[in-house]
Structure 1
């Protein structure tokens, strides 16, 4: 099993939305490095749900990958903000995963707290200028995050 951190703006899609929906396709990722990370995910991998562009931003909960290698349907929808006219159904450019809700953490872990507890080499989200919406997390770091969340 691998661990990941996946960002979403809570006004767009929050941990509460995932709790309500139970599962969702993590669509709309339009960065090639983040897409490549999504393509590495496997069934059972766990991902920290990070609320970005919030006051303050931080890790709010946990989700699990239930279906890997999902073709992101928003790339073909011309009315979607994630539409990609260069992508076609025979050669899609954007892939994602389907995730399921696991839990909301008892303790919210704010970005300032993450910066105090982890170096940029340990946890990419604390690196200044890091804009990736999906990133890997080592098991050792994941265990430390899980302990902070309790």
Structure 2
């Protein structure tokens, strides 16, 4: 299993909206960055990810699961763009802010710290465990 982080602005797509989709989940569409798209191409059904509110809040608020592998993004006719489908698994007990992550020395090499603009990014297993502990959840 691999781990990921999915970023969304609350005004575009929030954790509450993701939860409301239930087991049917939702396409993680609209990504127009080649590196983020390529990460989605690497995802497998069952992979887990953090749901991160970007911009104002800048915090991990939940855990999601990949429920469909990369397929054409339904929001464009351009064949270059693909997306995965994800569903909400559970909220974190304690939201983990970007400042919390930056303050934890063991997370200093995390992609979120080094390239915070990337909307879809990998999370190493050891980073996943540290953040789950900080957030009061088990995966």
Q: Highest CA radius of gyration, 1 or 2?
A: 1
Listed as ranges, the gaps of 5+ residues in structure 1 are 77-86
How far apart, in 2, do the equivalents of 1:111 and 1:131 lie?
12
Q: Which of 36, 39, 50 is the matching residue for 1:37?
A: 39
Q: CA deviation at 1:8?
A: 0.3
In the TM superposition, structure 1's runs of 4+ consecutive aligned residues that sit over 3 Å from their partners are none
Q: How does 1:1-150 map to 2 (within 5 A)?
A: 1-22=1-22, 23-54=25-56, 56-76=57-77, 87=78, 92-117=79-104, 118-119=107-108, 121=109, 123-127=110-114, 130-150=116-136
CA root-mean-square deviation? 1.0
Deviations 1:87-129, CA, capped at 9 Å, x for gaps: 2xxxx1011101011011110001110100120x2x11112x5
* TM value normalised by structure 2: 0.91
* TM value normalised by structure 1: 0.85
Q: CA deviation at 1:130?
A: 3.2
How far apart, in 1, do the equivalents of 2:97 and 2:18 lie?
20
How far apart, in 1, do the equivalents of 2:21 and 2:68 lie?
16
